[in-house]
């Protein structure tokens, strides 16, 4: 069990970008997204349709892998973790 202080983020994303497609038809979303949530904090995502809310939630929930950037849960990077680790 990991115990965090109020000053340590429980969930972080740094410089997250996700690219759909390839080449000239590629669409980039979340260009450099950053988020820090501490233990017990509540966050709200809002924005117009197509702004990347669902993509960000999918990345934070480890359902999608960002094209660039990193996601950390309790200070630990999630990229490269096994299915059991996730």
Quick count: other Cβ atoms within 10 Å of Cβ 52? 20
Q: DSSP secondary structure string, 22-59?
A: SGGG-EEEEEEEEEEE-TT-------STTSSHHHHHHH
Q: Of 63, 52, 62, nearest to 27 (Cα)?
A: 52
pLDDT computed for residue 72 by the predictor: 95
Q: Write the pLDDT tens digit of every residue in 15-43.
A: 999 999 999 999 999 999 999 999 989 99
- State how far the Cα of 54 lies from the Cα of 17, in Å rounded to an integer: 13
Query: Which pLDDT value is given to residue 5?
Result: 62
- pTM of this structure: 0.83
**pLDDT at 80 (0 to 100):** 83
């Amino acid at each position: 069990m990991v115990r965090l202080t109020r000053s340590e983020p429980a969930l972080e994303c740094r410089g997250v970008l996700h690219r759909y497609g390839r080449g000239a038809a590629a669409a980039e979303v979340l260009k450099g997204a950053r988020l820090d949530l501490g233990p017990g904090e509540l966050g709200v995502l809002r924005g117009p349709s197509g702004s990347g809310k669902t993509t960000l939630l999918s990345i934070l929930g480890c359902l999608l892998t960002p094209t660039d950037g990193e996601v950390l849960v309790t200070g630990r990077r999630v990229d490269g973790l096994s299915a059991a680790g996730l």
